[in-house]
Amino acid sequence: MLSRHLATGARRFRATPRPTAPTSFLRSAWAPTRTLSTAQPKVTPASNPKAPAPKPSQPNPVEPLQHTGARRAAGATLGQARNDLYDDSFVGRSGGEIFHEMMLRKSVKHVFGYPGGAILPVFDAIYESKHFEFILPRHEQGAGHMAEGYARATGRPGVVLVTSGPGATNVVTAMQDAFSDGTPMVVFSGQVPTTLIGSDSFQEADVVGISRSCTKWNVMVKNIAELPRRINEAFEIATSGRPGPVLVDLPKDVTAGILNRPIPVAPTIPSRPVAPNDRSQSFASHQKTFERLASLINQAERPILYVGQGVLSSPDGPAILRQLVDQANIPVTTTLMGLGAFDETDPRSLHMLGMHGSAYANLAMQSADVIVALGARFDDRVTGNIKKFAPAARRAAEEGRGGIIHFDIMPKNINKVVDVHYAVEGDVGANMQQLIPMLKFSPRKAWFDQMQAWKQSYPFSYDLPSSATTTDTTARIRPQAVIEVLNRLLTPIKDQTIVTTGVGQHQMWAAQYIRWTQPRSFITSGGLGTMGYGLPAAIGAKVACPEKTVIDIDGDASFCMTAMELATMSQYNIGVKVLILNNEFQGMVKQWQDIFYEERYSGTPMRNPNFVQLSEAMGVKGMRCTDPNDLTASLEAFLAHDGPVVLEVLVDKKDHVYPMVPAGKALHEMLLGENKMIQQ
């Protein structure tokens, strides 16, 4: 059966993949499972003097793991069938050369990494490659975050290449960050020769064991004949279903060895066939279920769309979301990671929700009778106190007129945090397309009037805290004002701008005070909250999109964690613009110390370097703004500079991020300012 009642009361809808061309529903419901192509693309070997070119009389070499059984069944001779079942295009190549060739076949244009002894056979093989550009960071963690920024800007997997031991372990933070945020990334790590594994040899580490919990899949390649297949699997798994990081561990004897025989092409990622007599029943059940969901949405008086990064990850997701909103006239709020999925200048936008989201988005979530979650996972930063979350929707579900509907590609996300009333698994974009024709337009005047009243009563604002009365703080620039001016200056070029952030107060102010209008224009660390993410992610995004303006909005503490990547910007002339909001504190931690720990600043004051001199020492233009009257001119010069540049702005030390939902409170129990709480 396609649908069934869950123990928690949610209905979950699944479909099964088909060995033949599936319907759009089946494609959407089984997006996590892909069937590898049966086509035989034309492949051009990488530029390598040791790699033999295919003979003119032979067919183009097939990509490993392609299905070839159909040709045998069509009447091929035994000899022809045997040739079809084996790939000889890698014979005579070293493991490093096979890696190079596979990057070409996977259309990899950029690799981020750091060399070392165990991975040298690969680095030697890619020496002066004409097929992709290698970017050398100053730390392997930087390589990982660069690959994340690259992937988030393009939707294609970022590729990392590092050595064994500390080279690999230094990427663990980036892998966990990518795992938390659903970012496709393929990490290749060097390893000691297979003959030395387990002997505690120099720079040996159980990288497969270490990375098991922070990757979708990992593997050690123990034989050179496995290498093409494992690389194929890595890219397939990183990009299928909910994207994420994978790791391929490469022992040195594998990458230095020579392949001397053809390799099998049989696939190792099987499809899961369905019995033919189940298909019509499944489709009919699916249609009936969507009709029920459409009926709930159409009759809802106060519906809301709660949109996460899954919409951005889905092909054409933002465009399909726009169609849904126009068709049904429903307001939209997004998660931090979903910013850009819907144009925030549209009056139906409620901007971001959650701990530091807009008050009106949080109030709308609590008041909605139907909540439609699209590619979002009900993170604790979004829900607040679970027992007090979405009371109106839960009450509507009991009365049979509403509830919580969850569209997600990951079955494990269903009912993980919030018990929902209906659940639809699969690609969110494809499932939205199935739903849209069943939806009807409704003006919902009372609902939109209520939201407009909330917007007027509770806008994003920044009153000066009463404790900030000394001259050394009141003279400083308001950090929110910096972002507001930047937003105004960027308005004409929003479609050609990407903003990354570190993690902290500056991250939240960027999310609040910039109006996000474009998909993949906001790149930040959400689930893991990795300080130091902003600068290397911006480098990766700029490498991926050199024609766009890429700005890293950072805090002084977050920036300091990966500040040496300024040297990477300088070496490759990567024109990232770094805006540092310097309050000489770990601002978000200090905010909690102000509110909950009686201003005991344990470990949070920062004694920073001179950021202008630091930038100049690395060959990057450095600027500083200390006067509020100079802010606009400084930002204009910052944006106009051609090349890598850093602008440090000295901002108020006492400012807090509001609204704020304190720990244990419900979404409607927000702090709106110092000693100012809203309760409805």
N residues, the chain: 680
Contact 157, 151 (CB under 8 A): yes
Q: Is 146 labeled as catalytic in the residue annotation?
A: no
List 106, 216, 252, 654, catalytic entry: 252
Kindly give, in sequence order, each residue whose CB lies less than 8 Å from that of residue 300, ignoring residues fewer than 6 positions away: 368, 369, 370, 396, 401, 402
Taking the C-alpha atoms of residue 659 and residue 68, their distance in angstroms, rounded to an integer, is: 59
- Tokens 């092409």 identify what position? 265
List 50, 202, 288, 596, catalytic entry: 202
List 146, 588, 623, 660, catalytic entry: 588
Query: What angle separates helix 631-640 from helix 479-490, to the nearest 10 degrees?
Result: 50
Q: Is 252 labeled as catalytic in the residue annotation?
A: yes
List 40, 109, 134, 203, catalytic entry: 203
Query: What angle separates helix 359-367 from helix 445-457, to the nearest 10 degrees?
Result: 150
Beta strands in 136-238 (DSSP E): 158-162, 185-191, 217-220
Beta bridge partners of 605: 585
**Per-position DSSP letters for 278-347, written without gaps between them:** GHHHHHHHHHHHHHHHHHHHHH-SSEEEEE-HHHHHSTTHHHHHHHHHHHHT--EEE-STTTTSS-TTST
Q: Is 593 labeled as catalytic in the residue annotation?
A: no
Count of alpha carbons within 13 angstroms of residue 255, beta-carbon side: 31
Supply φ then ψ for residue 133, to 5 degrees.
-100, 135
Contact 543, 150 (CB under 8 A): yes
Contact 407, 1 (CB under 8 A): no
Is 518 in a helix, a strand, or coil? Answer: coil
- Quick one: which of 554, 283, 314, 532 has its CA closest to 429? 314
Token pair listed for 4: 């069934």
**Per-position DSSP letters for 386-431, written without gaps between them:** GGGS-HHHHHHHHTTS-EEEEEES-GGGTTSSS--SEEEES-HHHH
> What single DSSP character describes residue 52?
P
Is 124 in a helix, a strand, or coil? Answer: helix
- Tokens 């690609």 identify what position? 427
Token pair listed for 286: 């699916």
Q: Is 677 labeled as catalytic in the residue annotation?
A: no
Taking the C-alpha atoms of residue 321 and residue 311, their distance in angstroms, rounded to an integer, is: 8
Q: How far apart are the first and last CA of the chain?
A: 43
List 63, 97, 101, 140, catalytic entry: 140
Q: Is 569 labeled as catalytic in the residue annotation?
A: no
Greatest Cα-to-Cα distance within the chain, rounded to the nearest angstrom = 89
- Quick one: which of 287, 209, 257, 173 has its CA closest to 530? 173
Token pair listed for 215: 């990757």
User: Which residues carry out catalysis?
Assistant: 140, 202-203, 252, 588
